Amino acid sequence: MEEDLKLSGESGPFPSQCLDDKVEISLPESALLRNASKQVSSNALETFIEAANRDKDLKLTERDLAVAKAVYKTLTSIESLFDNYGIPQSWDGQKLEDFQNIVYRQIDESKCISGKTQKDEDDFSARDAAITDYFEKLKKLLKDMEFSDCAWETVRLEVLSLLQFIVVETSDNEFWSRRV
């Protein structure tokens, strides 16, 4: 996922002509945290995938599974956002394609998480609702600003912030050093 950050950061700083249009949308942080005390699962999605490859009978805690599914939902929402709306001509097409390929690879490698079921008392539905709401706000912003370059720049910054949040909040996991 750190590759995502490198690629998305290469498109440059926020354009000065868009400063008046810049809107900040609250990140769905609680959806990506393990619990209210902001203790994060140790990169639940990647840990799950790695362990599942070794142990087919792996059992995650309900919260770890919920966090892993929330990260997966975030990645599929990012993919959908960039696949279904017109991208500005001013963006570097190769960098965008590279970014999309990395996001797609992360999703593809994580598909096993989407089919996992949880007990009724889990909290994934609340996490799912928060992530859905966040991406609906991004889509609304694009539509309200008529898919302008400035609207896309705001979305780019929001997605970058979200990916950075995921990486920073899970950076204490040894898995990152082996994966990157």
Distances (CA, A) of 91 to 76, 107, 108, 170: 21, 23, 25, 29
Q: Among candidates 121, 119, 26, 30, which has minimal Cα distance to 70?
A: 30
- Cα(31)–Cα(69) distance, integer angstroms: 10
pLDDT at 45: 52
Per-residue confidence of the chain (180 residues) as pLDDT tens digits? 555 444 444 456 778 888 887 788 888 888 888 753 333 344 455 555 555 455 444 455 666 777 778 888 999 999 999 988 878 888 888 998 999 999 999 888 877 766 666 665 467 888 899 999 999 999 999 999 999 989 999 999 999 999 998 888 755 433 333 344
**Three-state DSSP state, 62:** helix
Which amino acid, 113?
I
pTM of the model: 0.74
Structure tokens that stand for 6 in this block: 């490198």
- Cα(10)–Cα(43) distance, integer angstroms: 25
pLDDT at 65: 75
